[in-house]
Protein backbone atom coordinates (compact mmCIF):
# COMPACT_ATOMS: atom_id res chain seq x y z
CA UNK A 1 0.00 0.00 0.00
CA UNK A 2 1.40 3.39 -1.01
CA UNK A 3 2.03 5.96 1.68
CA UNK A 4 2.84 9.14 -0.27
CA UNK A 5 1.05 10.93 -3.06
CA UNK A 6 4.24 10.64 -5.16
CA UNK A 7 3.69 6.87 -5.26
CA UNK A 8 0.18 7.08 -6.75
CA UNK A 9 0.18 10.30 -8.78
CA UNK A 10 0.57 10.51 -12.51
CA UNK A 11 3.78 12.46 -12.97
CA UNK A 12 3.83 15.41 -15.32
CA UNK A 13 0.99 17.75 -16.06
CA UNK A 14 -0.29 19.17 -19.32
CA UNK A 15 -0.62 22.93 -19.00
CA UNK A 16 -1.96 25.70 -21.18
CA UNK A 17 -1.58 29.44 -20.87
CA UNK A 18 -4.41 31.67 -19.69
CA UNK A 19 -4.86 33.07 -23.21
CA UNK A 20 -5.25 29.65 -24.85
CA UNK A 21 -8.66 28.96 -26.35
CA UNK A 22 -10.77 26.14 -24.89
CA UNK A 23 -10.71 24.58 -28.37
CA UNK A 24 -6.92 24.25 -28.21
CA UNK A 25 -7.16 22.91 -24.66
CA UNK A 26 -9.78 20.34 -25.73
CA UNK A 27 -7.53 19.21 -28.57
CA UNK A 28 -4.72 18.67 -26.04
CA UNK A 29 -6.95 16.63 -23.73
CA UNK A 30 -7.98 14.50 -26.69
CA UNK A 31 -4.45 14.08 -28.04
CA UNK A 32 -2.98 13.31 -24.61
CA UNK A 33 -5.99 11.18 -23.57
CA UNK A 34 -6.42 13.04 -20.28
CA UNK A 35 -9.40 14.48 -18.41
CA UNK A 36 -8.25 18.05 -17.98
CA UNK A 37 -5.42 20.51 -18.33
CA UNK A 38 -4.02 22.97 -15.85
CA UNK A 39 -4.09 26.63 -16.74
CA UNK A 40 -0.76 28.09 -15.73
CA UNK A 41 1.21 31.27 -16.03
CA UNK A 42 4.96 31.41 -15.42
CA UNK A 43 4.84 27.76 -14.28
CA UNK A 44 2.27 28.44 -11.55
CA UNK A 45 -1.15 26.83 -11.84
CA UNK A 46 -4.07 29.24 -11.65
CA UNK A 47 -6.89 26.89 -12.61
CA UNK A 48 -8.01 23.65 -14.11
CA UNK A 49 -9.96 23.24 -17.33
CA UNK A 50 -12.17 20.22 -17.95
CA UNK A 51 -14.45 19.47 -20.85
CA UNK A 52 -17.32 20.34 -18.53
CA UNK A 53 -15.85 23.80 -17.89
CA UNK A 54 -15.64 24.44 -21.61
CA UNK A 55 -19.18 23.22 -22.19
CA UNK A 56 -20.93 24.90 -19.27
CA UNK A 57 -19.00 28.13 -19.14
CA UNK A 58 -18.50 28.81 -22.81
CA UNK A 59 -20.82 26.90 -25.12
CA UNK A 60 -23.84 26.93 -22.76
CA UNK A 61 -23.54 30.70 -22.38
CA UNK A 62 -23.54 31.12 -26.14
CA UNK A 63 -19.90 32.18 -26.23
CA UNK A 64 -17.88 30.55 -28.98
CA UNK A 65 -15.15 28.31 -27.50
CA UNK A 66 -12.68 29.67 -30.04
CA UNK A 67 -13.27 33.29 -28.99
CA UNK A 68 -13.04 32.96 -25.19
CA UNK A 69 -9.83 32.33 -23.23
CA UNK A 70 -9.20 29.49 -20.80
CA UNK A 71 -8.62 31.87 -17.90
CA UNK A 72 -12.23 33.06 -18.11
CA UNK A 73 -13.78 29.56 -18.16
CA UNK A 74 -11.42 27.50 -15.99
CA UNK A 75 -12.14 26.49 -12.42
CA UNK A 76 -9.79 28.20 -10.00
CA UNK A 77 -7.76 25.56 -8.19
CA UNK A 78 -9.42 25.32 -4.80
CA UNK A 79 -7.09 22.73 -3.35
CA UNK A 80 -3.74 21.14 -4.16
CA UNK A 81 -1.53 18.58 -2.49
CA UNK A 82 2.20 18.00 -2.23
CA UNK A 83 3.96 14.89 -3.53
CA UNK A 84 5.19 13.94 -0.05
CA UNK A 85 1.76 14.26 1.57
CA UNK A 86 -0.07 11.10 2.65
CA UNK A 87 -2.37 9.32 0.22
CA UNK A 88 -5.01 9.39 2.96
CA UNK A 89 -4.83 13.20 2.91
CA UNK A 90 -5.46 13.16 -0.85
CA UNK A 91 -8.47 10.91 -0.31
CA UNK A 92 -9.86 13.23 2.37
CA UNK A 93 -9.34 16.34 0.22
CA UNK A 94 -10.93 14.77 -2.84
CA UNK A 95 -13.91 13.54 -0.85
CA UNK A 96 -14.33 16.73 1.15
CA UNK A 97 -14.20 18.96 -1.92
CA UNK A 98 -15.94 16.57 -4.37
CA UNK A 99 -12.89 16.49 -6.65
CA UNK A 100 -12.12 13.91 -9.32
CA UNK A 101 -8.61 15.22 -9.85
CA UNK A 102 -6.17 16.86 -7.49
CA UNK A 103 -3.12 18.77 -8.76
CA UNK A 104 0.16 17.86 -7.10
CA UNK A 105 2.33 20.91 -6.51
CA UNK A 106 5.94 21.12 -5.41
CA UNK A 107 7.52 24.50 -4.64
CA UNK A 108 4.54 26.20 -6.30
CA UNK A 109 4.85 24.28 -9.58
CA UNK A 110 2.63 21.47 -10.88
CA UNK A 111 4.44 18.11 -10.90
CA UNK A 112 1.61 15.60 -11.21
CA UNK A 113 -2.04 14.79 -10.86
CA UNK A 114 -3.93 12.43 -8.60
CA UNK A 115 -7.13 11.08 -10.15
CA UNK A 116 -9.99 9.56 -8.23
CA UNK A 117 -8.98 5.98 -9.06
CA UNK A 118 -5.28 6.39 -8.15
CA UNK A 119 -5.61 6.18 -4.36
CA UNK A 120 -8.18 3.41 -4.73
CA UNK A 121 -5.68 1.20 -6.56
CA UNK A 122 -3.29 1.64 -3.64
CA UNK A 123 -5.78 1.60 -0.75
CA UNK A 124 -8.35 -0.98 -1.89
CA UNK A 125 -7.24 -2.89 -5.02
CA UNK A 126 -10.54 -4.82 -5.15
CA UNK A 127 -12.80 -1.74 -5.23
CA UNK A 128 -14.77 -0.52 -8.23
CA UNK A 129 -12.73 2.71 -8.20
CA UNK A 130 -9.53 0.68 -8.42
CA UNK A 131 -10.91 -1.00 -11.54
CA UNK A 132 -11.52 2.46 -12.98
CA UNK A 133 -7.99 3.55 -12.10
CA UNK A 134 -6.51 0.52 -13.87
CA UNK A 135 -8.69 0.71 -16.99
CA UNK A 136 -7.02 1.35 -20.30
CA UNK A 137 -7.80 4.80 -21.72
CA UNK A 138 -10.92 4.82 -23.86
CA UNK A 139 -12.42 1.66 -22.33
CA UNK A 140 -15.01 0.91 -19.71
CA UNK A 141 -13.60 -0.76 -16.61
CA UNK A 142 -13.73 -4.51 -16.92
CA UNK A 143 -13.58 -4.52 -20.72
CA UNK A 144 -10.66 -5.07 -23.03
CA UNK A 145 -9.20 -2.20 -25.00
CA UNK A 146 -10.58 -2.02 -28.51
For the segment 6-25, what is each residue's pLDDT rounded down to a tens digit? 999 989 889 999 999 888 99
Q: List strands edge to edge, sheet with 44-50.
A: 15-16, 36-41, 44-50, 75-76
Q: Cα–Cα distance between 74 and 72 in angstroms, integer?
A: 6
Q: Which architecture characterizes domain 5-134 according to CATH? A: Roll (3.10)
- Whether 35 and 59 have beta carbons less than 8 Å apart is answered as no
Q: Cα–Cα distance between 67 and 103 in angstroms, integer?
A: 27
* Confidence category of residue 124, pLDDT binned at 50, 70, 90: low
What is the rounded radius of gyration, in angstroms, for the C-alpha atoms of the chain? 16
Indicate the domain borders of the chain: 5-134
Q: Cα–Cα distance between 101 and 90 in angstroms, integer?
A: 10
Give this prediction's pTM.
0.74
For the segment 27-53, what is each residue's pLDDT rounded down to a tens digit? 898 898 888 899 998 878 889 988 777
The DSSP letter of residue 127 is S
Amino acid sequence: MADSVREVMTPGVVTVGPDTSPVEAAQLTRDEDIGDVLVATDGHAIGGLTDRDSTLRAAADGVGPSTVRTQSVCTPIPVVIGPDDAVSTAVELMGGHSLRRLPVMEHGHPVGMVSLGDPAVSQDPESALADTGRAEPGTWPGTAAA
